[in-house]
Amino acid sequence: MYESSLQYIRCVKCGQQLELEAFEKKNEIIEGLLSCVHCNGLYPIILSIPILVEDLSLFFSIRAKLGGYLLLNVKNSKIKSLIKKSLGKIKKVGEDTTDLEKNWALIYKKSKHTTFETTIRNIIRKLPKCNFVVEHGCSVGAMSEIMARYHGMVFGIDKSFFALMEAKRRKIKNADFFLADSLSGPFGTLKFDLVVALNVLELIEPLQLLKIIGAQSRQFVMLSDPYDYDRGKNSVKIKLDEKTLRSKLEQAGFKLIDGTSKPSFISWKLRVNPRLELNYKTDLILAHL
């Protein structure tokens, strides 16, 4: 985490400012602890990634292997104690998603130069310069890196630690990445010139995410999705199709930009392994206030 990012982030429990205790620092904070004086919330920074979740024990309840990985890679005794305590407080252990998240990070890393990526790049570079950008579900940071080339400060949010490690390896000077839940965002009331959420509506409750996006945006929003809601018990409760999504945006006061007012079918190819590719047909929406 860049130390300069401290002025923008807030406690995800109470929305108050955070204080930083840095244990290892080079050109950014590699290891440290963020604390909230108001509610005593504690958030570790490990391998340059701040973990900004309301309940660390709940987060680890389906990521116990990640907890072990972090324990092996952290040096400071305070952070080690926080992780151990959080792991010890787990009440109900669910199916561990650590390996799945690690695998998907590699898939996204390998899936370069897609038609979808090219389409996003062409749109991003034509937009008026946006000083502050946030990307929900930033994954390995590929799109954040594109946005950082043409715009100001970019913040990426994701719940996959391994994806964010890949994003940090890009060493983008005007982009920073946070492990956080988009529905409990770490930015308080901060407004962004561009709010982006690409292909995450099957992972984050769409209506709740739209509410967050509406509150964060002061100019542009960019959304996309293949509407792949067939995820069994992990499916979101309310599923929005292309027509309803556009209608909800318009009801929130956004105007659809020409070219995205009608559903699109942009190829987004993911290379799972040498013998398997997933080829989604993604819908893209660009709107402004």
Same domain, 133 and 218: yes
Say whether pLDDT at 94 is over 90: no
The answer for residues whose C-beta is within 8 angstroms of residue 77's C-beta and 6 or more apart is none
- With beta carbons less than 8 A apart as the criterion, state whether 10 and 17 touch: yes
Domain boundary among 63, 95, 127: 95
Q: Residue range 4-15: average pLDDT?
A: 97
User: How far, in whole angstroms, is CA 177 from its chain's centroid?
Assistant: 8
Q: What is the radius of gyration, based on Cα positions, of the chain?
A: 19
Q: Which amino acid is at 5?
A: S
Domain count of the fold of the chain:
2
Which of the listed residues 66, 95, 124 is the one where a domain comes to its end?
A: 95
Mention every residue, 6+ apart, whose C-beta is less than 8 A from residue 102.
Answer: 162
Phi (first) and psi of residue 101, to 5 degrees: -65, -35
What integer pLDDT is reported at residue 185 of this predicted model?
86
Residues 205 and 245 in one domain: yes
Average pLDDT over residues 22-46: 97
Let me know whether 62 and 121 are in one domain. no
17 and 126 fall within a common domain? no
Q: What is the CATH number of the domain that holds 135?
A: 3.40.50.150
Angle between the N-to-C axes of helices 161-168 and 98-110, in degrees from 0 to 180, rounded to the nearest 10: 40
Distance CA 201, CA 203 (A): 5
Predicted confidence (pLDDT) at residue 253 exceeds the cutoff of 90: yes
Q: Are 246 and 140 contained in the same domain?
A: yes
Do residues 73 and 46 touch, judged by C-beta distance below 8 A?
yes
79 shares its domain with 178: no
Mean pLDDT of the 91-101 span: 92
The pLDDT tens digits for 181-234 are 999 989 999 999 999 999 999 999 999 999 999 999 999 999 999 999 987 677
Q: How far is it, in rounded angstroms, from Cα 147 to Cα 153?
A: 9
Backbone angles phi, psi at 205, to 5 degrees: -50, 115
Are residues 143 and 284 located together in one domain of the fold? Answer: yes
Structural contact between residues 256 and 276, judged by C-beta atoms closer than 8 angstroms: no
Distance CA 43, CA 55 (A): 10
Give the pLDDT of residue 261. Answer: 95
Of the two residues 232 and 30, the one the predictor is more confident about is 30
HSE of 270 in the Cβ direction (CA atoms, 13 Å)?
A: 14
pLDDT band per the 50, 70, 90 thresholds, residue 277: very high
Mean pLDDT of 68-73: 97
Give the domain extent around 195.
103-288
pLDDT of residue 28: 97
pLDDT in tens, 128-185: 999 999 999 999 999 999 999 999 999 999 999 999 999 999 999 999 999 999 999 8
Backbone angles phi, psi at 41, to 5 degrees: -65, 140
Residues 107 and 91 in one domain: no
The residue among 59, 64, 39, 36 whose CA lies nearest residue 179 is 59
Please state at what angle helix 242-251 crosses helix 206-216, rounded to 10 degrees.
40
Query: How would residue 91 be classed by pLDDT, with cut points 50, 70 and 90?
Result: confident
Backbone angles phi, psi at 99, to 5 degrees: -65, -35
Q: What is the Cα–Cα distance from 26 to 31, expressed in whole angstroms? A: 10
What pLDDT is recorded for position 233?
Answer: 73
Give 3-state DSSP helix, strand, coil % of the chain, rounded to 5.
35, 30, 35
The model's confidence at residue 10, banded by pLDDT at 50, 70 and 90, is: very high
Both 77 and 132 in one domain: the answer is: no
The amino acid at 205? E
User: Within this chain, do residues 126 and 90 fall inside the same structural domain, yes or no?
Assistant: no
Q: Do 19 and 55 have their domain in common?
A: yes
- The Cβ of residue 7 has, within 10 Å, a number of other Cβ atoms equal to 9
**Domain boundary at 37, 71, 95, which?**
95
**Rounded Cα–Cα distance for residues 245 and 213 (Å):** 13
Cα–Cα distance for residue pair 206/123, rounded to 1 Å: 23
Going by the DSSP 8-state scheme, the letter that residue 182 receives in this structure is G
Question: What pLDDT sits at residue 231?
Answer: 73
Classify residue 96 by its DSSP letter.
Answer: -
Q: Roughly what angle, to the nearest 10 degrees, separates helices 98-110 and 64-73?
A: 80
| Average pLDDT, rounded, for the chain | 96
79 shares its domain with 118: no
